[in-house]
Amino acid sequence: MQGRGPQAPRGVTSAQPHPNMTESERFDAIIIGSGQAGNPLAYALADAGRRVALIESRYLGGSCINYGCSPTKALLAAAHRAHAIRTAGALGLRVPAPEVDMPAVIGRKNRLVELHREGIRKNLTLEHPGITVLHGHAAFVGPRTLLLAPNREIEARRLTAPLIFINTGTVAAWPDIEGIREVGALTNETLLDLPELPEHLIILGGSYIGVEFGQMYRRFGARVTIVDTETRIMSREDEDVQLELQRLLEAEGIEFVLGARARRVSRGADGTLTLTADTRQGERRLRGSHLLVAVGRQPNTESLGLDLAGIDTDEHGYIRADDELRTGVRGVYALGDVKGGPQFTHISYDDYRIVRDRLLHGRRRRTTARPLPYVVFTEPQLGRVGLSEKDAAAQGVTYRVGKLPVYHIGRARETEAPAGFLKVLVGEDDRLLGAAVLSEQGGEIMSMLQIAMAGRLKYQQLQNMVLAHPTWAEALNNVFAKLQKPKT
C-alpha cells in the first residue's frame, strides 16, 4: 500500500515540473502500491513479458502484511492461548495463570511481519525479472503520467505507461472529536507496536476491528470499554448475531457504552485519559489509560493528483471504478480498498484475478458476480457469506431460516466450546442463500457452506451427507432440521 508518507517532492506541487527531474521513463505497466492486488499483478504481468514498475512509499506487502491480517492474527493467537490457559480448569487441568510478556508478544509479531516482507521483496526483485521496485510517493501529472518523489533520492522521476493500477489502500479515519489527536490516541496500526499492556483500553468503534481488538486486549489482561454511536455492535449484522456476540464479550468482562456520541477527549496531569460522551442517559465520562480509534477507514487518494488525470472520486475520496475495475480514464484501474466497497484481503486478491484474466487471458468477469465471505476472528469466530436476514428482507428475497445452537454439536461439548449458533438461509429452490456461523471454527464451517453454494447443492444433500464423527462439520447434517419462515 502506498501510505501517507511524503506527499509530494519538496517545494513543488504535483502539477509542477521538478527542477531536477529527468526525462520520462516508459513502462508497460505501473502499479502504485504493494498491496494484495498489486504484488501478484506485478508478478503476472512481468511473467507475461511486460516491463513493470511497482511503486511503494512505505513497506512492501500492503496493509494485510504490515498492520492488518497477519500481525493482528499473530497477536490474537497469543491472546486466545492465554485465555485457554486461564480457563483450563474447565477441563480438569490445574495450571498457573499465564504471565503476558507484551514485548515478547510484539517481538514475535514483528518477526513474522519481517519474514513476510522479506519474502515479498525477494519475489519482486529476484524471482520475477521485469519488475522495477521504486520506493517513493507517486502523483499523477496527466492521464497516464506520474511524478515520483523517491524516498532516498533528490531527483524526481517522471514515469509513463499505457496501463496504471492504483492499489494505495486506506488508513484509519479520525473522527471530529475535540482533543483526540492531542491525547496520543492510537489506531489499529500504532496499537500493534505498543510495548506495554494498557491498564484500561477505551475503544471508539464497535465494528469488526473494535471487537477483535477488544477481546484481544481483554484476554491479555486489560480492562476494555467499547464505545459506539450505534445501539448495537457490528451494525451490518443481523440482530441475533449482534446480541449474542455482545453477550459473549460481556461475559469476558468487556464493557459496552452504546448509543453514545463522543465529543471531547483530554488527558490529565497524572496521565489519565478522559473521554466525554453524550448518551441517552446524559453525559458520561469514561476514564482510561489508552484510546483506540476504530471508527472506519479512509482512502489514500488525497495526494495522488487524481484531478490532473481526470480520475473521479466519490464524496469520501474513494476512486470511482466500474464492475471491471476501470476508472473513467482509459488504461487506469483501481484495485483493492481504494475503490471502496468491501475491504478484505481476499477481495483485493480477486481484483487482481479479474484484471489479470481480462488483460492476459481475454476472459471477462465482473465484481458483481463474486461472493463476499468474511470472518471476524473473535472467539468464537463469526463466519459470514451470502445474504443475511437483513439483506434478504431489504431485497425482497423469500427464504427460510434454520438455526442450530452450537452446544448441540458433539464436538463443541467435548472441547468445551459451546458458545454461539449456526444460521442458514435457504431459498425457494432449496439452495443456500447465505449463512452466519458464530462458532469455534466458524470461518472454516462457513467456507464449507460457501463451497456448497458455489456448487449449487440443495440443502438436503448436506443434511443427508455422511460426515465423519465427531467433527464440527457434522453441524451441516443438523442445522437444516427446523427450517422455517422468518418471524415478521
Confidence grade of residue 151 (pLDDT, cut at 50, 70, 90): confident
d(CA 289, CA 186): 11
Confidence grade of residue 11 (pLDDT, cut at 50, 70, 90): very low
Of the residues 295, 327, 349, which one is the last residue of a structural domain?
A: 295
What is the per-residue pLDDT for 2? Answer: 52
pTM over 0.75, yes/no: yes
Confidence grade of residue 487 (pLDDT, cut at 50, 70, 90): confident
- More confident: 12 or 257: 257
- More confident: 154 or 108: 108
Percentage of the chain modeled with pLDDT above 70: 95
Residues 285 and 308 in one domain: no
Residue 23 has pLDDT above 90, yes or no: no
What is the per-residue pLDDT for 220? Answer: 98
Q: Domain of 229?
A: 188-295
d(CA 136, CA 280): 48
What does the pLDDT average to over 216-241?
97
CB 159 within 8 A of CB 53: yes
Task: Return the H-helix or E-strand segment holding 141.
Answer: strand 131-142
What is the per-residue pLDDT for 6? Answer: 36
What cell was used for 38? 498489486
What cell was used for 474? 457434522
Contacts made by residues 285-288, CB under 8 angstroms, sequence distance 24+: 286/202, 286/225, 286/227, 286/257, 287/200, 288/198, 288/199, 288/200, 288/201, 288/202, 288/223, 288/225
Residue 313 has pLDDT above 90, yes or no: yes
What is the per-residue pLDDT for 155? Answer: 83
Whether 100 is in a domain gets the answer no
What does the pLDDT average to over 254-258?
98
Whether 13 is in a domain gets the answer no
Residues 353 and 432 in one domain: no
Residue 3 has pLDDT above 50, yes or no: no
15-37 in b/e form (b: 16+ CB < 10 A) is: eeebeebeeebebbbbbbbbbbb
Residue 273 has pLDDT above 70, yes or no: yes
What does the pLDDT average to over 160-173?
96
Residues 193 and 279 in one domain: yes
Of the residues 252, 279, 295, which one is the last residue of a structural domain?
A: 295
- Lookup result for grid cell 491525547: 183
What does the pLDDT average to over 266-271?
95
Residues 116 and 264 in one domain: no
What is the per-residue pLDDT for 22? Answer: 56
Q: Greatest CA span in the chain, whole angstroms?
A: 74
Q: Is 238 exposed, middle or buried (0-12, 13-18, 19+ CB in 10 A)?
A: buried
Residues 162 and 35 in one domain: yes
- Active-site residues, by number, are 469
Residues 336 and 402 in one domain: no
Whether 179 is in a domain gets the answer no
Residues 131 and 48 in one domain: yes
Confidence grade of residue 5 (pLDDT, cut at 50, 70, 90): very low
What is the per-residue pLDDT for 14? Answer: 38
Residues annotated within the binding site are 73, 205-212, 296, 337
What does the pLDDT average to over 169-182?
95
What does the pLDDT average to over 21-41?
91
Residues annotated within the binding site for FAD are 73, 337
Question: What letter represents residue 200's amino acid?
Answer: H
Over the stretch 375-419, which tens digit does the pLDDT of each residue have? 999 999 999 999 999 999 999 999 999 999 999 999 999 999 999
Confidence grade of residue 8 (pLDDT, cut at 50, 70, 90): very low
The backbone torsions φ and ψ at residue 391, rounded to the nearest 5 degrees and listed phi first, read -65, -45
Residues annotated within the binding site for NAD(+) are 205-212, 296
What CATH number does residue 275 fall under?
3.50.50.60
Whether 439 is in a domain gets the answer yes
Of the residues 244, 265, 295, which one is the last residue of a structural domain?
A: 295
Residues 206 and 275 in one domain: yes
- Lookup result for grid cell 484531478: 307
Whether 307 is in a domain gets the answer yes
Nearest to 59 by CA among 2, 122, 110, 125: 2
Confidence grade of residue 4 (pLDDT, cut at 50, 70, 90): very low
Whether 145 is in a domain gets the answer yes
Calculate the dihedral angle through the C-alpha atoms of 311, 315, 319, 320, rounding to the nearest 10 degrees.
Answer: -80
Nearest to 128 by CA among 118, 136, 120: 120
Mean pLDDT across the chain, nearest whole number? 93
Measured in Å, how far apart are the chain's first and last C-alpha atoms? 45
Distance of CA 38 to the CA centre of its chain: 16
Over the stretch 77-92, which tens digit does the pLDDT of each residue have? 999 999 999 999 999 9
7 Cβ contact partners less than 8 Å away, ≥ 6 residues apart: 137, 302, 303
Q: Among 61-65, 235-239, 315-319, whose mean pLDDT is lowest?
A: 61-65
Residues 358 and 222 in one domain: no
Question: What's the number of domains the chain is made of?
Answer: 3
Residues 152 and 282 in one domain: no
Confidence grade of residue 369 (pLDDT, cut at 50, 70, 90): confident
Residues 291 and 312 in one domain: no
